[in-house]
Amino acid sequence: MYVSSTAPNIFDQVGQCGNQIGSEFWKQLCREHGISPNGILEDFATHGDDRKDVFFYQADDDHYVPRALLLDLEPRVVNSIQTSAHRQLFNQENVFVSPEGGGAGNNWASGYSQGERFHDILMDMVDREADNSDSLEGFVLSHSIAGGTGSGMGSYILEKLNDHFPKKLIQTYSVFPNWDNQSDVVVQPYNSLLTIKRLTLNADSVVVLDNTALAKIAVDRLKIVNPTVSHMNSIVSTVMAASTTTLRYPGYMNNDLVGLVASLIPTPRCHFLMTGYTPLVLNDVPNTATTTVRKTSVLDVMRRLTQTKNIMVSASTRRGCYISILNIIQGDVDPTQVHKALQRLRERRLVNFIPWGPAGIQVALSRKSPYVETSHKVCIYGYLSGA
């Protein structure tokens, strides 16, 4: 449509959490692009104008293969992916599990030094995948910051990616720990702090996936009494897939990671992004959340996105101010509604922006995918409302 070229991204999933949310992300992408679990394009999806090649490439036999590296220091999660319905999806050469298989014992330092020890193997895998991607745009890393492997080995990989590919963009989906959960590991603060330092120095953009907030949303909003890891991962993969729609569907703006990051991050150091989503529905989990959301005008959706209860971060947005906002609105929407909605939000001063810089809510409008009801096809409009 309006897109000149594709900018592929390599997805590194590191550690148990990183691989769990990563595999959910790939399942969601397959559903949205009409790719079967073994990588074959479904008959109904052969005429799509989506950009599968941002995250997939086509093998010689036309199979779609994720540009993904699955990295872990213990075999459990990677094995479960390798025995799932999607076992044929991934390139087997891109899977690394430490031969010792002992994990990192929730110790950042152990994960980091094992990353160092397996440096050659890991960087060979990265280089091979990078060589395979013409005009590579950057890397996406999914991991948790509080354990051992995703945090420690993830930190090591971030540093090395930055060294080896100084011009490539590095974005992360970083799961922050649930501080309300006392049963969690005592050493989480050590690991988190050491990882946050690398996220600050070696990443261009960090999407914060805050388990403290996600657990609260699962209980309060989705009415799940005891949310499990798979519930949380389901929310996370919805958010990850939605946040990459502008890359995967042609449009006027935010077609690539560079554009997306540039529009959200005016000063390089302030690159930690929070997310919001409405209405939230979990795959395979029947709940009442959708039926309770009756009005779905653009204004309602945009207003709900400013409400604390829909924002997936355990910090108060009443303190401080917004540096930037991008709303990706999915569904059939009249563009004139967007103008009106932006005007109303401004009149009611619902959103507090920084006094410096050209701040405003940016809106990307999208159509729903013909393949999945929770998905979206993007046709993008850019709006800058004066703050």
Partner 1 sequence: VHNSHVADAATHVNRQVSGMMLANHTCIAQIFQRTVNQYDKIRKRNAFIDNYRKEPMFADNLDEFDMSVARKCHQC
Contacting partner 1 within 253-272 (CB under 8 A):
260, 264-265, 269-272
If one asks whether residue 313 binds partner 1 (CB under 8 A), the answer comes out as yes
If one asks whether residue 314 binds partner 1 (CB under 8 A), the answer comes out as yes
If one asks whether residue 109 binds partner 1 (CB under 8 A), the answer comes out as yes
If one asks whether residue 222 binds partner 1 (CB under 8 A), the answer comes out as no
If one asks whether residue 381 binds partner 1 (CB under 8 A), the answer comes out as no
Residue placing its CB nearer to partner 1 in the complex, 219 or 323: 323
Give the interface size with partner 1 as a residue count (CB under 8 A): 78
Of 145, 201, 112, give the one whose Cα is nearest residue 21: 145
Residue placing its CB nearer to partner 1 in the complex, 194 or 379: 194
If one asks whether residue 47 binds partner 1 (CB under 8 A), the answer comes out as no
Quick check: 173 and 141 in contact, CB under 8 A? yes
If one asks whether residue 25 binds partner 1 (CB under 8 A), the answer comes out as no
If one asks whether residue 384 binds partner 1 (CB under 8 A), the answer comes out as no
If one asks whether residue 323 binds partner 1 (CB under 8 A), the answer comes out as yes
Q: How many CB atoms lie within 10 A of CB 177?
A: 20
Quick one: which of 80, 181, 228, 290 contacts partner 1 (CB under 8 A)?
290
Residue 319 has phi, psi (to 5 degrees) of -95, 135
The angle, 0 to 180 degrees and rounded to 10, between the axes of the packed helices 298-306 and 335-347 is 40
If one asks whether residue 7 binds partner 1 (CB under 8 A), the answer comes out as no
If one asks whether residue 144 binds partner 1 (CB under 8 A), the answer comes out as no
If one asks whether residue 174 binds partner 1 (CB under 8 A), the answer comes out as no
CB of 134 to partner 1, least distance (A): 27
The reply to whether omega before 279 is within 30° of 0 (cis) is yes
Determine the Cα–Cα distance for residues 317 and 210; give it in Å rounded to an integer. Answer: 14
Residue where the block lists tokens 């036999």: 61
Residue 273 has phi, psi (to 5 degrees) of -105, 145
If one asks whether residue 285 binds partner 1 (CB under 8 A), the answer comes out as no
CA 52 to mean position of chain CA atoms:
16
The amino acid that residue 98 corresponds to is S
Q: Of 28-36, 50-58, 75-83, 102-110, which part binds partner 1 (CB under 8 A)?
A: 102-110
Q: Which long-range contacts (CB under 8 A, 24 or more apart) does 57-64 make?
A: 57/8, 57/132, 57/133, 63/38, 63/39, 64/33, 64/35, 64/39, 64/40
Q: How many CB atoms lie within 10 A of CB 6?
A: 18
Residue placing its CB nearer to partner 1 in the complex, 5 or 308: 308
If one asks whether residue 112 binds partner 1 (CB under 8 A), the answer comes out as yes
CB of 91 to partner 1, least distance (A): 29
Which tokens hold the place of 351?
Answer: 């959103």
If one asks whether residue 231 binds partner 1 (CB under 8 A), the answer comes out as no
Quick one: which of 59, 321, 340, 384 contacts partner 1 (CB under 8 A)?
321
